[in-house]
Structure 1
């Protein structure tokens, strides 16, 4: 049975979602989105602060004595050319951090997150007899850069506003719309992206003896890096190391002076993470030394996401509410995911419990069993795909209702 929202979605909220989808913005560039969020929160009676962590928006609503709940939604989009064919598809472009003009698409669903939280903000502001305490609504920039949550913390979020007792949030996922999923403990992988520059000695392609070829060093490095997971990490641990970019030279008959690798590491344990990072540095330095390359490699961090750890008790409390509402068959355990998120930074920095779940957003008709063994999970478009776009209903309605119900559970009336 497909679950349905317990309130009818306001058509104006659907229009808002389509508008945000048409006008995506990259991380730390969410000026239009932030303006819409601030205007709507102000009209609902929230105390609004803009420009937090660059482009973040915070809405505060106090309703008597009680705990404080932080509800978080991310606002940024991706440098992706949308291929959904929807009548509200994005045709936007923007200038990225490297100065390149790129297409922009809400291919990860952050427009839905923002719309759901604004919808929940309206419901909660209009039903203050159903909850007690303090609502701290955080509309976060730059989640895709792995920098937005930390920017909020660095901008003294938890000194300027009440410290929360719990952080609540959701992320739309390629699960059947009407399903919610959550996993206790390490739920989403930590991620480290690195740029490795290997310096050799360039020469004419006809005179390799005059070179120290960084292409050969890079090739040897790529192969050797594959042994880190298979030969250095215990079989009971989980980690992934991917070399996603290799670049060197610009002509067939020229041996370049340097080569660049970009790689990504996913892990769930800090000890495993540190071991893999140390192994990367050891291997890169070793291959350069073996080749007699001059100098040292340059290894720089591109982005980092810490492991997201759901508090077992906090998530259990929230999912119990969802089970009573949607039915146990519609609340799933997806296991630990390899995707990464920075929402955990907000919980760690504030000392709050974290309860973070996945919101199904794909047409249920595409699934057979509708659970975590469904073969359609391997075939339907997923987040970051140019073809990814949630079905608006029942996804939007359930997303609003989930935030409202979770909030009421954590901010009960005495």
Structure 2
């Protein structure tokens, strides 16, 4: 705790000369970084297929002076820079794009397409800003490598695959991230924001993003002719009852002050007007913060599905089957001590008016796994505003009037977003690394 306080005081007293030196260095590097960003934006790759992306990231990190290992957790990259005694600090960026057809109209818009099983042809796009994350991290690596005389310790930078599937962090850890490489005492990540203007930051401690589970319910029935429903067991009626009853998990079973979401995103059944089908299929997203709430919701879904089937008179062999996907994303928790130090450092660097509270969200981020693997690690994920100031002003700051993350129209304002991302991440790293 004492070292954290000392680090925060150092940042506050570093003075305008140090701040100006960083600003000038990042400004000089910005044209290179924006060109890199546009290349990454135009050439996205989906989860666990980030082959060209990871190759480029590895080359950039080697050029900056890091010892680089590729193929960690399939397509992950780990870069290490040892610089004397001091803590091990891990900085993370994610690499994967999404199966979204871009509609931004940008001159560097992605034109890539892939075949999605069961869907057909889809465009591919960095609709969540992972291109911003990677570019900011390369800028950070270049700045920290160029200023080794100002810090001491070991820097570990990872470029992580498959955040969008929730499997990338899990697979890197399973592949020995904490055993094959220096184990971090501090983990820091950034994520761009579709609701904050470029040049601002968002940071808060505690839970900031949710547990995310994907749940499938196979509802069974006995099909037949729509004119003779008495001879059937209608799975569509049963599935409809299940959908309605699931809403009571939130409205009648949880404390109203407990954040949670159960959304039925897909309901598929039947083929024709006059046929009662043999089955129906429900797809759910389930979100929470605590492990206890997560388990209660999953148990409640199973209970309700079975209970409604019993009420409908279904025999045991026609009970619904509930499957919870393995690629679960745990809730992201920002440890209070480190997060407080970083917030102070950001305020000293950017000014209090540029550092906003990070309102907790029900979205998910598998960055959470790096802390969850060992809770002695200090962990912080902060936000970097990505909305063009004029666009933000035209919307009156109303997030419902702005394209959200994962939208085909989401387009960060590259230059100020990247510049702020690099300056913030360098500031964060220096706040917890040793000083020379």
Normalising to structure 2: TM-score of the pair?
A: 0.90
Residue of structure 2 equivalent to 1:377: 399
Distance 1:99 1:65, change over 3 A: farther
Alignment counterpart, residue 356 of structure 1, candidates 378, 381, 399 = 381
Number of residue-to-residue matches in the alignment: 409
Alignment counterpart, residue 80 of structure 2, candidates 38, 60, 77 = 60
Aligned-pair RMSD on alpha carbons?
Answer: 1.9
Mapping 1:69-148, distance limit 5 Å: 69-96=89-116, 100-148=120-168
Normalising to structure 1: TM-score of the pair?
A: 0.95
Give secondary structure in 2 for the equivalent of 1:164.
Answer: coil
Displacement, 1:387?
0.7
Displacement, 1:103?
1.7
Could you list the per-position Cα deviations for residues 355-381 of structure 1 after superposition, in whole angstroms to 9, with x for gaps in the alignment?
A: 1100000012234599xxx64222111
User: Given that residues 366 and 376 in structure 1 are in contact (C-alpha distance below 8 angstroms), is that contact kept between their aligned partners in structure 2?
Assistant: no
Displacement, 1:241?
1.1
Could you list the per-position Cα deviations for residues 188-221 of structure 1 after superposition, in whole angstroms to 9, with x for gaps in the alignment?
A: 1111111111111111222222211111111111
Distance 2:135 2:413 in 1: 14
- More deviation in 342-351 or 352-361? 342-351
Runs (4+) of structure 1 exceeding 6 A deviation are none
Residue of structure 2 equivalent to 1:12: 32
Residue of structure 2 equivalent to 1:300: 323
Give secondary structure in 2 for the equivalent of 1:117.
Answer: helix
Residue of structure 1 equivalent to 2:3: none
Any unmatched runs of 5+ in structure 2?
1-18
Distance 1:30 1:93 in 2: 14
Distance 1:346 1:245, change over 3 A: same
Displacement, 1:271?
1.7
Q: 2:248 matched to 1:227? A: yes
Distance 1:101 1:155, change over 3 A: farther
User: Given that residues 26 and 96 in structure 1 are in contact (C-alpha distance below 8 angstroms), is that contact kept between their aligned partners in structure 2?
Assistant: no
Q: 2:55 matched to 1:31? A: no
Distance 1:98 1:78 in 2: 16
Alignment counterpart, residue 160 of structure 1, candidates 180, 195, 199 = 180
Q: 2:338 matched to 1:314? A: yes
Mapping 1:331-350, distance limit 5 Å: 331-350=355-374
Displacement, 1:69?
0.5
User: Given that residues 190 and 268 in structure 1 are in contact (C-alpha distance below 8 angstroms), is that contact kept between their aligned partners in structure 2?
Assistant: yes
Any unmatched runs of 5+ in structure 1?
none
Distance 1:390 1:368 in 2: 15
